[in-house]
Chain A
Amino acid sequence: MDAFVTAFIVFALAIFVGFEVITKVPPILHTPLMSGSNAISGITIIGALIAAGAQQDLLTTALGFLAVVFATINVVGGFLVTHRMLGMFRRKE
């Protein structure tokens, strides 16, 4: 139970940090914020890697493989498209 409580404390604090940081993002960057935060939520990939690599049985490996594919699309697609978008924002020269 202790581990669960610790995890919950981390969860609650992280939500607060999220609110603090994200309220400072200006409206002009809301689209990159969505795609960029999306890429960050692709962190599930670390769970996917273990499921795919543990070779426990066919079903978990299959689930793991699919999860790795999904999460990698999310991570690579998310960071890359955000980078592409942010490169377009420029000041008056």
Chain B
Amino acid sequence: MPPALINLVYLLAAVLFILALRGLAHPRTAVRGNLLGALGMLLAIVVTLLDRRIVGFEVILAGLVVGAGVGALLAVRIQMTAMPQMVALLNGFGGGASLLVAGAALLEAAAAEAGVPLVQLTVATVASGLIGAVTFWGSLVAFGKLQGLIPEQAVVFPGQLPANAALGLVALGFGAWLVADPAATGVYWGVVAAASVLGVGLVIPIGGADMPVAIALLNAYSGLAAAATGFVLGNNALIIAGSLVGASGIILTRIMCKAMNRSLANVLTGAIAAGQAGPSADQVYAGRVKAATAEEVAMLFDTARRVAIVPGYGMAVSQAQYAVRDLANLLESREIEVTFAIHPVAGRMPGHMNVLLAEAQIPYDKLKTLEEANPAFEQTDVALVIGANDVVNPVARTDPGSPIAGMPILDVDRARTVVVIKRSLSPGFAGIPNPLFAADNTLMFFGDGKQAVLDLIAAVKES
């Protein structure tokens, strides 16, 4: 097949990728969009197999079979609650593949008749190795944290920032060496080794609730690594697809940071702004917290016309999404209007709660964003908070000295009554008490998320 024709097919694939992402603008068109993306990928793969440089297919076939087996198994078996881990892992494999391809291309160029590789090629190879290795190891650490294999808390130690900076400089130093002396291809693995340690160092200071930012950023890196590899190979399909993914990751990272009112630098260094020492938990809660039983909460629903359910990571942890769906259906059967108010950083990755609720067959038109949900809370009779804390803490609005000051929150406190399902009064990720739990219009319903919702269902049915 002539190279011009191959390139035209790559262009077609790139167009299909753009259409795929455009399809994601609406749930109605999203499935078709994803299929178009897969079609683009299939075309790109098939046309590549016709490339004259390929002389043997055994190794390729073996790789495809192993990869497809593992990928399909993961995709079919993974639980929706574990989607953040899955995406972290996929990010990592993408980054790893890019760094390996760039390494192989470097060796190939060095062995070619033409002699030493061009500067552009070595610079792009260094970029690919650096970003790819950071993505691979960073994603594995993120996976480990989300899967509970390693502690989820932020690991922060003195001198961490200088240490990471030094690692970055070492990687760049190896990179400069390779650019200066392209024949010394072994130096590439120095770049990869330093960047690997850097990848671990960059993600360990990021704690559980900041994971959405880390995952979005690693997503961007995996795209940029692919784009860099595109420069290495001089292949526009890689450059276009990689840039699209890079842009996607950057946008999501920005949205997540905005939703926490924190700078990217602040999230990446694991430093929650210390803020002034606010009131202690005792000062906030003492004598003011009202615990309710399932029957008492059920009575609220007797007179309610509008209910807003606010899910948080706690709902995912206790796998309560199906019970929540049953409760919503039950309330709707009694002519109560039920909506779901979803904070952008609820859960462990962008859109995490939406996927869980969609899995439980809750129609997506009931899922409201922060901007849609907030004006409606004043006309809401019961706001039911399940396993969320910092994202409903009114301190963000009222106390400029608090670590979460200025963070956009769901204004559940403006509902007529707030019911909070939670195991205890323990603080959320920000480590501060939540005055919402002690507010006059709040009832605490202590318990495991799923069990509490099941108890509520039983109580509503009896009342």
Contacts and interface: CB of A to CB of B under 8 A. Distances in A.
Contacts of A80: 71-72, 75-76
B63 A68 contact: yes
A52 B358 contact: no
Contacts of B44: 43, 45-46
Interface in B235-255: 235-249, 251-252, 255
B66 to A, nearest CB: 5
Given A18-B244, A68-B67, A61 B59 contact: yes
Contacts of A31: 83, 87, 349-352, 354-355
B105 to A, nearest CB: 7
A88 B239 CA distance: 32
Contacts of A44: 94, 97-98, 101, 225-226, 229, 238
A56 B222 CA distance: 27
A49 B41 CA distance: 13
B106 to A, nearest CB: 9
Given A7-B236, A70-B96, A81-B74, A40 B20 contact: yes
Contacts of A37: 21, 219, 223, 244-245, 248-249
B49 A40 contact: no
Nearest to B27: A89
Given A28-B354, A31-B355, A77-B75, A71 B83 contact: no
Given A21-B18, A36-B34, A67-B97, A49 B86 contact: no
B364 A38 contact: no
Nearest to B103: A63
A41 B35 CA distance: 15
Interface residues of A, number: 82
B461 interface: no
Contacts of B365: 91-92
A60 B35 CA distance: 32
A14 B72 contact: no
A29 B342 CA distance: 12
Contacts of A40: 17, 20-21, 37, 40-41, 241, 244-245
Contacts of B367: 28
B344 A27 contact: yes
Interface residues of B, number: 116
Contacts of A77: 70-72, 74-75, 86, 90, 93
B97 A19 contact: no
Contacts of B244: 14, 17-18, 21-22, 37, 40
A27 B120 contact: no
B101 A51 contact: yes
Interface string A1-31: 1011001001100110111011111111111
B354 A27 contact: yes
B234 A3 contact: yes
Contacts of A53: 49, 51, 53-57, 59-60
Contacts of A78: 71, 75, 90
Contact of B63 (A3, A15, A48, A55): A48
27 contacts: A7-B236, A14-B247, A27-B350, A28-B351, A34-B248, A40-B20, A40-B244, A41-B222, A46-B237, A49-B49, A50-B54, A51-B100, A51-B108, A53-B59, A54-B54, A56-B111, A63-B104, A69-B66, A70-B67, A70-B93, A71-B67, A76-B71, A85-B358, A89-B364, A91-B364, A92-B366, A93-B363
Interface of A: 1, 3-4, 7, 10-11, 14-15, 17-19, 21-57, 59-61, 63-93
Given A27-B255, A45-B45, A79-B34, 8 more contacts: A27-B351, A40-B20, A42-B226, A49-B48, A55-B59, A68-B97, A72-B63, A89-B30
Pairs A-B, 5 closest by C-beta atoms:
A72-B67, A18-B247, A68-B63, A30-B351, A76-B71
